[in-house]
């Protein structure tokens, strides 16, 4: 007997179609196997696909998949999903703000939805508690992997040491002193694979901080989970914020980030800290709705 599931494709960190970071969203009913969810993610073939089901009022089970494996959390996929649920009336609110809870591989995390005139207009996703798992002191290896000058790793006049930050996804944060270096990096797959194995990380997040404009420009590469370059990374942005705060680069509890220009899908990302928790937020655009048949 054929089973049918509603699915969506939604672009996160944008208000326009075909830009931002796309996410697959499958509304499950609790009867999809792990293998079926993974195959659905492979079929939709976006950086991440979320298989979500409602457990109770304002409580959801959320499972996140790349085309090849399950991961604990995806910030952009969560934003896209809860924006979509609100747009289609699965989540409603008579007030200006709504809180829901998602159970993820990284634990229970809150999502705040802001409404204006009955329509969702912003989503804030709580990220897991973060920690630095290792310092990356071999700057020459990084320089070779990304074809940048080792002396250009850092920010401003400060020679910061890159680090792996675990924010649900183990992410190597690499600061660069020049915007030109960020835009011209040329990653080598074999080198990234060796760095991933050595430092136990899944993602490489490079950023340049424009101190005058108070904005981060960034790029994210995750070849170990079959995502070459992401257009907008929610968890990566959160890890960058955490890294900047830990190193005294950022005094404010907010950060704006831009990403995706190099892949033709610009993203506008907002990171904030409230009550000791880091959130990634933004808007989204639903571009497709369909039926998945199993």
Q: Are 160 and 138 in contact (CB under 8 A)?
A: no
* Packing angle, helices 75-87 and 234-246, rounded to 10: 130
Rounded distance, CA 99 to CA 289, Å?
25
Residues in Cβ contact with 93 at an 8 Å cutoff, skipping those fewer than 6 apart: 86, 113, 115
Residues in Cβ contact with 281 at an 8 Å cutoff, skipping those fewer than 6 apart: 79, 122, 123, 124, 125, 269, 270, 271, 272
Rounded distance, CA 191 to CA 221, Å?
12
Q: Assess whether 48 carries a catalytic annotation.
A: yes
Rounded distance, CA 54 to CA 90, Å?
10
Sort 197 into a burial class: Cβ within 10 Å, 0-12 / 13-18 / 19+: exposed
Residues 43, 48, 129, 137: which is the catalytic one? 48
Q: How many CA atoms lie within 13 A of 274 on its CB side?
A: 13
Q: Are 29 and 52 in contact (CB under 8 A)?
A: no
Q: What positions carry a catalytic annotation? A: 48
């Amino acid at each position: 007997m054929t089973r049918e599931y509603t699915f969506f494709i939604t672009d996160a960190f944008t208000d326009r179609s075909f830009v931002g970071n796309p996410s697959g969203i499958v509304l499950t009913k609790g009867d999809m196997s792990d293998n079926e969810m993974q195959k659905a993610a492979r079929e939709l073939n976006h950086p991440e696909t979320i298989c979500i089901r409602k457990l109770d009022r304002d409580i959801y089970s959320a499972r996140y998949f790349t085309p090849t494996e399950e991961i604990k959390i995806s910030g952009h996929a969560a934003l896209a999903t809860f924006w979509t649920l609100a747009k289609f009336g699965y989540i409603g609110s008579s007030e200006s703000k709504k809180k829901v809870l998602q159970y993820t591989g990284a634990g229970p995390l809150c999502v705040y939805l802001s409404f204006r005139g009955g329509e969702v207009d912003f989503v804030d996703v709580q990220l897991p508690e973060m920690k630095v798992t290792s310092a990356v002191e071999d700057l020459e290896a990084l320089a070779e992997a990304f074809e940048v000058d080792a002396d250009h790793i850092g920010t401003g006049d400060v020679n910061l040491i890159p680090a792996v930050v675990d924010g649900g996804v183990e992410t190597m944060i690499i600061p660069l002193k020049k915007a030109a270096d960020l835009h011209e990096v040329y990653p080598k797959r074999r080198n990234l694979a060796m760095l991933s194995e050595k430092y136990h990380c899944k993602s490489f997040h490079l950023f340049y901080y424009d101190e005058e404009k108070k904005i981060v420009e960034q790029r994210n590469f995750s070849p170990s989970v079959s995502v070459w370059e992401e257009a907008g990374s929610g968890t990566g942005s959160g890890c960058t914020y955490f890294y900047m705060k830990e190193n005294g680069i950022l005094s404010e509890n907010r950060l704006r980030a831009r990403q995706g220009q190099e892949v033709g899908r610009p993203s506008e990302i907002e990171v904030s800290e409230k009550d000791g928790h880091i959130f990634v937020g933004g808007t989204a655009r639903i571009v497709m709705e369909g039926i998945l048949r199993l």
